[in-house]
């Protein structure tokens, strides 16, 4: 039996998995989900684990009506069945919100440049992209979207009572933290990196006004995780070591 080829459902039913990965979009989730050392020790938010079949069907239909990919794997903690959450340890990765917004924009521009997304899928400038939060920010199921999803990261990791229900790692120190947390033999490789139109540092995308836009929109994340403009999370994370 090739264990690496087993489905997530089989891995779960055989009792091999230890962790449930909550994949917040644009937070190194592909690197974790595709890591061969974790192939039988971790499962993602496959539809079989969703809270109900109705949830999965409604999500798929809603996205299909809008020409969007369903993004099943980006389900939040409370979108997962209670028995799965009780059996496995949920874990997620969070990221500085200002950096994450830039990453989403770069990801979109890269998709347009290589022809995997329509030319008008995202606004042509970063400033205009920020205004799209008013278009997509409160749409149901849009926490499943990477580019058009404007939901806070906290929303992915809290339970029905609003309490933190997952171990949280930090993307800014993920090579060290994932190795330590999962007991990996090798650091996580970088995957799914955006190579968009501009290679300038993410901080250079901002001026005072746009910096404040993100601060206001993601105020809940900034407070809950203890972010500052140029820092990683400092609260409600599994490791509190300074980020190198």
- At 140-196, the pLDDT tens digits run 999 999 999 999 999 999 999 999 999 999 999 999 999 999 999 998 876 555 555
pLDDT (0 to 100) of residue 194: 52
Domain contains 48: yes
Max Cα separation, the chain? Answer: 57
Tokens 């996580």 -> residue? 188
In this structure, what DSSP letter does residue 63 have? H
Across 143-179, b (16+ Cβ under 10 Å) vs e yields bbbbbbbbbbbbbbbbeeeeebbbbbbbbbbbbbbbe
CA-to-CA distance for 163 and 143, rounded, in angstroms? 18
pLDDT tens digits along 27-57? 989 999 999 999 999 999 999 999 999 999 9
1 pLDDT band, cuts 50/70/90, is very low
How many domains is the chain partitioned into structurally?
Answer: 1
Q: Which two tokens stand for residue 107?
A: 């990801």
Domain contains 220: yes
Domain contains 232: no
Which residue segment(s) compose the domain that 34 sits in?
3-225
Q: Which two tokens stand for residue 211?
A: 């910096």
pLDDT (0 to 100) of residue 5: 55
* Residue 119 CB partners (closer than 8 Å, separation 6+): 112
Domain contains 240: no
pLDDT (0 to 100) of residue 40: 94
Domain contains 119: yes
Domain contains 244: no
In this structure, what DSSP letter does residue 46 have? -
Note the pTM of the prediction, 2 decimals: 0.93
């Amino acid at each position: 039996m090739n264990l690496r080829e087993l489905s997530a459902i089989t891995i779960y039913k055989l009792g091999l998995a230890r962790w449930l990965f909550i994949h917040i979009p644009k937070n190194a989730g592909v690197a974790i989900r595709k890591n061969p050392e974790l192939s039988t020790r971790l499962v993602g938010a496959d539809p079989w684990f969703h809270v109900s079949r109705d949830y999965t069907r409604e999500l798929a239909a809603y996205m299909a009506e809008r020409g969007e990919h369903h993004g099943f794997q980006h389900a939040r903690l409370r979108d997962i069945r209670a028995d799965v959450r009780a059996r496995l340890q949920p874990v997620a990765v969070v990221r500085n919100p200002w950096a994450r917004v830039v990453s989403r924009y770069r990801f979109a521009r890269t998709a347009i440049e290589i022809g995997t997304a329509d030319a008008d899928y995202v606004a042509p400038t970063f400033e205009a992209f920020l205004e799209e939060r008013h278009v997509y920010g409160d749409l149901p199921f849009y926490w499943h979207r990477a580019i058009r999803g404007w939901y806070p990261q906290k929303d992915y990791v809290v339970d029905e009572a609003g309490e933190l229900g997952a171990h949280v790692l930090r993307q800014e120190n993920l090579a060290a933290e994932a190795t330590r947390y999962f007991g990996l033999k090798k650091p996580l490789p970088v995957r799914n990196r955006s190579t968009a139109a501009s290679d300038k540092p993410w901080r250079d995308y901002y001026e005072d006004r746009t910096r404040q836009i993100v601060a206001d929109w993601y105020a809940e994340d900034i407070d809950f995780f203890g972010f500052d403009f140029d820092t990683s999370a400092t609260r409600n994370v599994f490791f509190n070591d300074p980020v190198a």
